């Protein structure tokens, strides 16, 4: 059915509702949105977009009405309840409604609140995944977040509490993972580093740290050092303040030839042991 037909039907019967798509815009660069996401934008009647969405991304939907809804940590933005209501109202007026979110809608994007509101209103909704910034950051550095023999666990963390009231002096909760990626952690960078060092579990003064701003865009910048340097506030003057930030912590991010030599040695030992072993063809495997 054409949009024009659906629009005419909606005018004659207000009970006919449009469909809402929660679309992940990806980490920043317009060419990193998924094919499905780009197709939804191309057909959108109206697009509600986050502050982190790049202008080049909005060029993919020139036919749509564009509505900014903020959602940037520490900045003035629309209340979530108001965004929820806007989506419901738009579905009563338009066939294709897109809620465009930075990264992936299902990670730190309050998608659950919007999904619940739309479903309660009887509105059909679909989620289109996007590339989250942590993965784009790892790709930009050319280093994996997991690494054989070094990192078997990865955690994505945000300290942004939204409308919740933080208790002054309350310690942060840090996951027990080998590699940590903090979203929206600029204001708490020193505190993050200090507490991780004090916990003395997976991370020490010498643990590798990379801070990335505006990942995958022409404005991308990187600060690389150690957890000890971050705890001393050495990155404070480096921060831009206007770009989204990732703080990536873990020795899997350590770019050393020594580690690669260790892997080569391990591979050689494994290959030698295989050559020295006996191979039985058509043998039966027992659990």
Q: Is 143 exposed, middle or buried, given 0-12, 13-18 or 19+ CB atoms closer than 10 A?
A: middle
Backbone angles phi, psi at 64, to 5 degrees: -90, 155
Q: Catalytic residue at 184?
A: yes
- Tell me the β-bridge partners of 265: none
The tokens for 186 are: 């600029």
List, in order, residues 6 or more apart from 8 with CB less than 8 Å away.
none
- Assign 98 to helix, strand or coil: strand
The tokens for 213 are: 């701003």
Q: Catalytic residue at 11?
A: no
> 45, 50, 104, 178: which is the annotated catalytic residue?
50
The tokens for 251 are: 């020795």
CB 141 within 8 A of CB 253: yes
Return the percent helix, strand and coil in the chain, to nearest 5. 35, 20, 45
> 6, 57, 184, 248: which is the annotated catalytic residue?
184
Spell out a b/e string for 91-125, using b for 16 or more CB atoms within 10 Å of the CB, else e: bebbbbbbbbbbbbbbbbbbbeebbebbeebebeb
The tokens for 180 are: 């940590």
Backbone angles phi, psi at 126, to 5 degrees: -135, 140
Q: Which helix (H) or strand (E) holds 122?
A: none
Q: Which helix (H) or strand (E) holds 132?
A: none
What is the DSSP pairing of strand 65-68 with strand 46-49? parallel
> 6, 45, 71, 248: which is the annotated catalytic residue?
71
Q: Catalytic residue at 89?
A: no
**Residues known to be catalytic:** 50, 71, 184
């Amino acid at each position: 059915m054409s949009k024009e037909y659906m629009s005419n039907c909606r005018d004659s019967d207000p009970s006919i509702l449009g469909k809402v798509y929660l679309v992940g815009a990806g980490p920043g660069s317009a060419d990193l949105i998924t094919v499905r996401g780009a197709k939804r934008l191309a057909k959108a009647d109206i697009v509600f977009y986050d502050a982190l969405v790049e202008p080049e991304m909005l060029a993919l939907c020139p036919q749509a009405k564009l509505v900014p809804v903020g959602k940037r940590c520490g900045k003035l933005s629309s209340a979530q309840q108001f965004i929820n209501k806007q989506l419901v109202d738009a579905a009563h007026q338009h066939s294709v409604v897109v809620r465009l979110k930075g990264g992936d809608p299902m990670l730190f994007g309050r998608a659950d609140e919007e999904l619940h509101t739309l479903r309660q209103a009887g509105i059909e909704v679909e989620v289109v995944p996007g590339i989250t910034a942590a993965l784009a950051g790892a790709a930009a550095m050319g280093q994996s977040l997991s690494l054989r023999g070094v990192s078997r666990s990865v955690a994505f963390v945000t300290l942004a509490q939204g409308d919740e009231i933080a208790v002054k002096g309350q310690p942060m909760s840090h996951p027990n993972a080998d590699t940590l990626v903090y979203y929206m952690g600029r204001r708490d960078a020193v505190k993050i580093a200090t507490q991780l060092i004090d916990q003395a579990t997976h991370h020490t003064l010498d643990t590798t740290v990379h801070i990335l701003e505006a990942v995958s865009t022409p404005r991308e910048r990187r600060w690389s050092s150690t957890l000890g340097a971050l705890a001393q506030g050495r990155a404070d003057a480096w921060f831009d303040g206007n770009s989204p930030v990732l703080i990536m912590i873990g020795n899997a991010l350590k770019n050393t030839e020594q580690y690669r030599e260790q892997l080569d040695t391990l591979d050689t030992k494994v290959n030698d042991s295989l050559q020295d072993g006996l191979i039985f063809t058509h043998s039966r495997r027992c659990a």
